[in-house]
Amino acid sequence: MAPQSGEDDTALDPRVVRTRADVLHAAIGVLVEEGWDKLTHRHVAEVAGYSKATVYAHWPTRTDLLRETFSLFRDMPHHRPSGDLREDLVAELTMFRTAMQEYRLDRVLAVLADVAGAEPALAPVREEVVASGEHLVRDLLATVFSGGEAEAAAHMLCGVVLNPTFMHGRLPDDDLIRSAVDLLLRAAPGRSAT
């Protein structure tokens, strides 16, 4: 990738891209392994192997650094819908569960819930991460539910992954995900019982 001219040259300089990627990679590690209170310019710089001045140059405030680190979790993998609503919902919730483990989304979301409550500047990042995460579940549910019921159904299905993970410290198993989807679809207007 060669440097290109444009309004924001620095963002396209491959050395700059590399530096930013290195630092954000280190920041994710710190966030997941050590907690958000350890995510300081000094400590992230140490872990990434750059000077503190470099980290400050790219992210002038700690909020800037937190915001960009969390924003990396906006693009989690999603299931590609097949058209079978039941299987699509089960597969998407199963991918949500996998991301909890593989991308340590369990730690990231727990920290994000905690941090966004304390630091309002981070609330918009949480909104983006969550909107992106719930998008497919909401689209799938919109084919059979509407209005307040669609909203409730979305929180209920996300809750089937969230509540076991956060409140019980264990991921939902396959049976739990299938039972939840079956229960919900049985209540869907115009769908016959399974």
Q: Determine if 42 is a binding residue for a second copy (CB under 8 A).
A: no
Residue number, 11 or 131, with CB nearest to a second copy: 131
Q: Looking at 15, 169, 190, 192, which residue binds a second copy (CB under 8 A)?
A: 169
Build a one-symbol-per-residue string for 85-104: x at contacts with a second copy by CB under 8 A, - elsewhere: --------------------
Contact window for a second copy (CB under 8 A) among 10-18, 70-78, 89-97, 174-182: 174-182
Radius of gyration of the chain (CA): 20
Burial class (CB in 10 A: 0-12, 13-18, 19+), 167: exposed
Cβ at position 86, least distance to a second copy in Å = 14
Residue number, 49 or 169, with CB nearest to a second copy: 169
Q: Determine if 117 is a binding residue for a second copy (CB under 8 A).
A: yes
Q: Which of 108, 138, 149, 132 is nearest to 24 (CA)?
A: 108
Task: Provide DSSP, 95-145.
Answer: HHHHHHHHS-HHHHHHHHHHHHHH-GGGHHHHHHHHHHHHHHHHHHHTTT-
- Distances 12 to 28, 65, 183 between C-alpha atoms, Å: 22, 19, 50
Q: Looking at 65, 91, 106, 125, which residue binds a second copy (CB under 8 A)?
A: 106
Q: Determine if 45 is a binding residue for a second copy (CB under 8 A).
A: no
Q: What does the alpha-carbon distance between residue 159 and residue 184 come to, in Å, rounded to a whole number?
A: 13
Residue number, 18 or 191, with CB nearest to a second copy: 191
Q: What does the alpha-carbon distance between residue 110 and residue 5 come to, in Å, rounded to a whole number?
A: 40
Give the footprint of a second copy on this chain (CB under 8 A): 35, 37, 106-107, 109-111, 113-114, 116-118, 123, 126-127, 130, 134, 148-149, 151-153, 155-160, 162-164, 166-169, 172, 175-176, 179-180, 182-184, 186-187
